[in-house]
Chain A
Amino acid sequence: GQNIDQPTEMTATEGAIVQINCTYQTSGFNGLFWYQQHAGEAPTFLSYNVLDGLEEKGRFSSFLSRSKGYSYLLLKELQMKDSASYLCAVVEAAGNKLTFGGGTRVLVKP
């Protein structure tokens, strides 16, 4: 089975940087996804990491350390539209099954 932990809520100021941490415990691992979900909407894909290191994509970056069972999502130059929940999801080694964390709700204030 999988155990995935991420903070419940974070608040940051427009233009600032926020880092959302995700730790996981798993018997098998085949990658980690980050999704963004605005209230009442579908989760949308942000990033996928399967190798250690940092993946940068515009204002968003995602980091993975497999040995530490740790990932983070970094949001830079925060905008009001970044207010959303951010979901960390781990892929089990077998199949394409995603196990999600509870999500981190980010509130961006002016």
Chain B
Amino acid sequence: EAGVVQSPRYKIIEKKQPVAFWCNPISGHNTLYWYRQNLGQGPELLIRYENEEAVDDSQLPKDRFSAERLKGVDSTLKIQPAELGDSAVYLCASSLGGPHTDTQYFGPGTRLTVL
């Protein structure tokens, strides 16, 4: 079974440029998460989707970050414009979903460097 797929794996951009990350979750997983992980720290949740609905985006900096999951499968996270402090690894995770706690499975992440 394929895991969570993310692309690109690495991205280097100059500040003020836009950037987008793509995620394909594990087949059949209804819940999708975007996390940001700074060096030497644990991941921090940015947004959580149940199917195509964003049910928790309280940690998403909405002035420059946006996300979508139009058909309830793939998702895109965008930053426009990027700032130096956005340099981090952006992780996508998915889980089966439902009312009970279930295990989140992570993709390899996109390492973003903003110059």
Q: Contacts A95-B48, A95-B55: A42 and B106 contacting too (C-beta < 8 A)?
A: yes
- Tell which of B31, B40, B45, B101 has the most Cβ of chain A within 10 Å: B101
B108 at the binding interface (Cβ < 8 Å): yes
A97 CB contacts on chain B under 8 angstroms: 45, 48, 56
B25 at the binding interface (Cβ < 8 Å): no
Residue of B nearest to A30 (CB): B101
Q: Contacts A96-B31, A97-B45, A97-B56: A31 and B101 contacting too (C-beta < 8 A)?
A: yes
A40–B91 Cα gap in the complex (Å)?
11
For chain B, the bracket of interface size reads: 20 to 34
Q: Contacts A95-B55, A96-B31, A96-B48: A42 and B108 contacting too (C-beta < 8 A)?
A: yes
Instruction: Give the contacts of B1-50 with A (CB-CB under 8 A).
Output: 3-4, 31, 40-45, 48
Instruction: Give the contacts of A66-110 with B (CB-CB under 8 A).
Output: 87, 89, 91, 95-103
For the A-B complex, the count of residue pairs with Cβ-Cβ distances under 8 Å equals 56
A35–B40 Cα gap in the complex (Å)?
15
For chain A, the bracket of interface size reads: 20 to 34
Residue of B nearest to A44 (CB): B106
A79–B106 Cα gap in the complex (Å)?
24
A40–B44 Cα gap in the complex (Å)?
17
| Contact across chains for A100 and B42 when beta carbons are under 8 A apart | yes
A99–B43 Cα gap in the complex (Å)?
8
| Contact across chains for A96 and B42 when beta carbons are under 8 A apart | no
Interchain CB contact (< 8 A) of B42 among A30, A40, A102: A102
Binding site for B on A (CB under 8 A): 4, 30-31, 33, 35, 40-45, 48, 50, 87, 89, 91, 95-103
Binding site for A on B (CB under 8 A): 3-4, 31, 40-45, 48, 55-56, 91, 95, 97, 101-109, 111
Known: A33-B104, A96-B97, A102-B41. 10 other contacts (CB 8 A): A40-B111, A42-B91, A43-B91, A50-B101, A91-B101, A95-B56, A96-B31, A97-B45, A100-B43, A101-B42
